[in-house]
């Protein structure tokens, strides 16, 4: 199974791994980053989160060939704090988030993530949950679809596409990825479609909605920061501007002194910054990596250290 782990060296080096430390891979996937963390642990332990059964089954075998110093937790990483507490863990030395989809997930037609192949409209990262892309496309109002496409997809033709979807579903339920792509093309016209490929933005927006990706990220990052030991590191790889903006803002707010107390001679601990930014600007993939794996092109890596 071919899966590229984006910015593998940069993100793992960024964690500054100690061989006896406790680490978390919040996005296990097919085990690329986890494998590299595990190789660096002697007495330490790695906790991995994922909600995709196929990925978990594959990675369990892959990691077991390296060592037994790992625990896989089948859960969305939004539950990071409580699931680690169940394991008796309330502090860790490093946390990694790779927010991209695994290549096998994208390439598996039955998962419905890609507009390149015809497949049922699904897009669930956890296939045991209820809401699917088909539900969103067929049941959301024009206003709801417009909002999702505009905010999550940053697509300027959002309302035009939403209205066309609403008109088409009156005749027949929209069931497959190719049906949706054709509707998007009809809505915006061939010229705009071929020039800007709005299907990319629309599919991204629906996937974010189905998996509550942005609200989950906003919720978990403060928990992750609070879990870190002093000098513990957090590495976050994002793949679109909405994710990167959330990470940038949360890292920034946790690395600056609150305006309320800035300039005071004796600042209370509660107002002191929690983080030191390791890189002020995001780390980008190398040209060589982009050539080898074009999906890494939009990736950005931000790293911070607990003070």
Q: Are 118 and 201 in the same domain?
A: yes
Q: Are 259 and 171 in the same domain?
A: no
Q: Are 154 and 169 in the same domain?
A: yes
Q: Are 202 and 254 in the same domain?
A: no
Sheet with 45-50, edge to edge strand ranges: 70-74, 45-50, 22-25, 92-98, 228-238, 300-306, 275-277
Q: Are 63 and 123 in the same domain?
A: no
As a whole number of Å, the CA-based R_g of the chain is 21
pTM value is 0.85
- pLDDT at residue 180 tops 90: yes
If one counts the domains in the chain, the total is 2
CA distance 119 to 140: 20
- pLDDT at residue 67 tops 90: yes
Q: Can you give the pLDDT at residue 209?
A: 95
Q: Is residue 1 part of a domain?
A: no
Burial of 60 from C-beta contacts in 10 A (0-12 / 13-18 / 19+): middle
For residue range 22-54, what is the model confidence (pLDDT) as tens digits? Answer: 999 999 988 999 999 999 999 999 999 998 888
Question: If we measure between CA atoms, which residue out of 36, 100, 92, 29 comes closest to residue 66?
Answer: 36
**Domain boundary pick from 187, 211, 235:** 211
Q: Are 90 and 219 in the same domain?
A: yes
Q: Can you give the pLDDT at residue 104?
A: 52
Q: Is residue 218 part of a domain?
A: yes
For residue range 194-214, what is the model confidence (pLDDT) as tens digits? Answer: 999 999 899 999 999 998 889
Q: Is residue 291 part of a domain?
A: yes
Whole-angstrom CA distances from 152 to 194, 273, 306 are: 21, 30, 30
Q: Are 31 and 89 in the same domain?
A: yes
Q: Is residue 170 part of a domain?
A: yes
Q: Are 201 and 124 in the same domain?
A: yes
Residues 6+ apart with CB under 8 A from 256: 273
Angle between helix axes 142-151 and 198-211 (nearest 10 degrees) is 110
Q: Are 141 and 286 in the same domain?
A: no
For residue range 140-153, what is the model confidence (pLDDT) as tens digits? Answer: 999 999 999 999 99
Average pLDDT, the chain: 91
Question: If we measure between CA atoms, which residue out of 173, 169, 122, 124 comes closest to residue 142?
Answer: 169
Q: Is residue 217 part of a domain?
A: yes
Q: Any bridge partners for residue 50, and if so which? A: 74
CA distance 211 to 129: 9
Tell me, what CATH number does 140's domain have? 1.10.150.170
Tell me, what CATH number does 219's domain have? 3.40.50.150
Q: Are 91 and 223 in the same domain?
A: yes
Burial of 229 from C-beta contacts in 10 A (0-12 / 13-18 / 19+): middle
For residue 198, the enclosing domain spans 112-211
Given a contact cutoff of 8 angstroms between Cβ atoms, the answer to whether 118 and 261 are in contact is no
Q: Are 131 and 200 in the same domain?
A: yes
CA distance 15 to 18: 9
**Domain boundary pick from 211, 239, 259:** 211
Q: Are 34 and 179 in the same domain?
A: no
**Domain boundary pick from 211, 240, 270:** 211
Given a contact cutoff of 8 angstroms between Cβ atoms, the answer to whether 236 and 151 are in contact is no
For residue range 213-251, what is the model confidence (pLDDT) as tens digits? Answer: 899 999 999 999 999 999 999 999 999 889 999 999 999
For residue range 79-136, what is the model confidence (pLDDT) as tens digits? Answer: 999 999 999 999 999 999 999 765 555 566 666 567 667 889 988 877 778 899 999 9
3 state SS for the chain: CCCCCCCHHHHHHHCCCCCCCEEEECCCCCCHHHHHHHHCCCCCEEEEEECCHHHHHHHHHHHHCCCCCEEEEECCHHHHHHHHHHCCCCCEEEEEEECCCCHHHHHCHHHCCCCCCCCECCCCCCCCCCCCHHHHHHHCCHHHHHHHHHHCCCCCCHHHHHHHHHHHCCCCCCCEHHHHHHHHHHHHCHHHHHHHCHHHHHHHHHHHHHHCHHHHHHHHHHHHHHHEEEEEEEEEEECCHHHHHHHHHHHHHCCCCCCCCCCCCCCCHHHCCCEEECCCCCECCCHHHHHHCHHHCCCEEEEEEEC
Q: Can you give the pLDDT at residue 231?
A: 97
Query: Residue 271: which pLDDT band, with cuts at 50, 70 and 90?
Result: confident
């Amino acid at each position: 199974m071919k899966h590229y782990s984006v910015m593998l060296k940069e993100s793992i080096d960024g964690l500054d791994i100690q061989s006896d430390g406790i680490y978390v891979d919040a996005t296990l996937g097919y085990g690329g980053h986890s494998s590299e963390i595990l190789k660096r642990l002697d007495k330490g332990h790695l906790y991995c989160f994922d909600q995709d059964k196929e990925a978990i089954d594959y990675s369990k075998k892959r990691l077991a060939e390296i060592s037994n110093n790992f625990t896989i937790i089948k859960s969305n990483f939004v539950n990071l704090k409580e699931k680690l507490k169940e394991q008796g863990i309330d502090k860790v030395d490093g946390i990694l988030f790779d927010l991209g989809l695994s290549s096998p997930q994208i390439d598996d037609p039955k998962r419905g993530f890609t507009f390149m192949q015809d497949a049922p409209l699904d897009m669930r990262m956890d296939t045991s949950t209820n809401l699917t892309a088909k539900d969103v496309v067929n049941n959301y109002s024009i206003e709801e679809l417009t909002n999702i496409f505009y905010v999550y997809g940053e697509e300027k033709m959002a309302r035009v596409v939403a209205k066309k979807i609403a008109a088409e579903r009156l005749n027949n339920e929209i069931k497959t990825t190719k049906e949706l792509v054709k509707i998007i093309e009809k809505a915006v016209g061939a010229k705009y479609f071929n020039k800007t490929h709005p299907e990319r933005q629309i599919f991204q927006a629906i996937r974010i909605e189905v998996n509550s990706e942005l609200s989950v990220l906003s919720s978990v990052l403060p928990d992750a920061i609070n879990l870190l030991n002093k000098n513990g590191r957090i590495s976050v790889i994002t793949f679109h501007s909405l994710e990167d903006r959330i990470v940038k803002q949360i890292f920034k707010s946790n690395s600056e002194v609150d305006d309320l107390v800035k300039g005071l001679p004796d600042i209370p601990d509660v107002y002191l910054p929690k983080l030191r930014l390791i890189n002020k600007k995001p780390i980008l993939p190398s040209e060589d990596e982009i050539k080898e794996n074009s999906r890494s092109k939009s990736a950005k890596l931000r790293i911070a250290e607990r003070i």
